[in-house]
Amino acid sequence: MRVTPSNLNLRGTTLIYSRIAGTGSYLPEKVVTNADLEKLVDTSDEWIASRTGIRERRMAAEGETTGDLAFYAATHALEAAGTKASELDLIVLGTTTPDIIFPSTACLLQHRLGANGCAAFDVNAACSGFMYALGIADQFIRTGQVKKALVVGAETLTRMIDWSDRSTCVLFGDGAGAVVLEASAEPGILTTKLHADGAYKHLLYNPVGVSAGFRDEPNHGVRVIMGGSEVFKVAVRTLDRIVGETLEAAGMQEKDVDWLIPHQANLRIIEATAKRLGLSMDRVIVTIDRHGNTSSGSVPLALDEAVRSGKVKRGQTLLLEAFGGGLTWSSALLKY
């Protein structure tokens, strides 16, 4: 570890940062277009695209689980990082759609990768799940407890969709993304911000569960309930606020951001956040048109695509942000 004045704190102790060593992602093969949804509900490609920016989304095959998607994304991230699964000290997986109630999907993933023995757990923060997981792993590395961590966001949201509800069935898709974090003396993740406000639970939620009980309805009552217009207003307001908070915490300004990599929920929300930063849309990573809203999978999916396409390069400053049910909202500012 190379010690320089920039990575010493006031007491002369070497600072530890977490740095992204590799990224990976995975999308199921099946593509569901807006034209396909026109056959299920009263909607149209023009209506969906103009209001959300979505043209198509992916759907997991029968028998394909969140853990499967997470495994492929994790494998790609480990390969990119040049890291063996046996070297991992921690696995944190953000998801609202675990394979089974317990063990956690992170534990199932750990065994499948061959990383047995390290800490592994799931985080449920809805669409902010990956960002929460990233913030947690970052803190483990900064405190010196962990040297290498795998952070995953993976969802099979189409399993909880009411396909007769045109307000929600057009929005969601399945997918997974992952990053490998490693301890570094050079700045990587500069700051993370995690927030929640349960007072807004009624705006975006799934009404059933083990303790609350299931219902004698199709799919046992498992479905997404969303107050679309209100969610939009709160999302724009909270993301605007967290952008300023994140930059201030890192001592940086809007002009210092090279790329915005946002949660892919709605193109209009993405555009509003870019405007707040003073960024043109050609400096924003957008995948919602092809992926839909993959919840905790959306930010790492977009990040991996940006890295592998060559858009995002080493040394650039990235702002990641997400917003989801809870309500939760989160961000990370980092040097890639």
Cite the active site residues. 127, 263, 293
Sheet holding 317-324, edge to edge: 189-196, 328-335, 317-324, 259-262
SS3 at position 19: strand
Q: 213 forms bridges with which residues in the sheet?
A: 209
Question: Phi and psi dihedrals of 10, rounded to 5?
Answer: -65, -25
CA distance 135 to 130: 9
Q: Residue 8 in contact with residue 178, Cβ under 8 Å?
A: no
Which secondary-structure segment (H or E) carries 155? strand 148-156
The CA–CA distances, whole Å, from 230 to 23, 164, 203 equal: 34, 21, 7
CA distance 243 to 319: 8
Which two structure tokens, joined as six digits, stand for 258? 């090279």
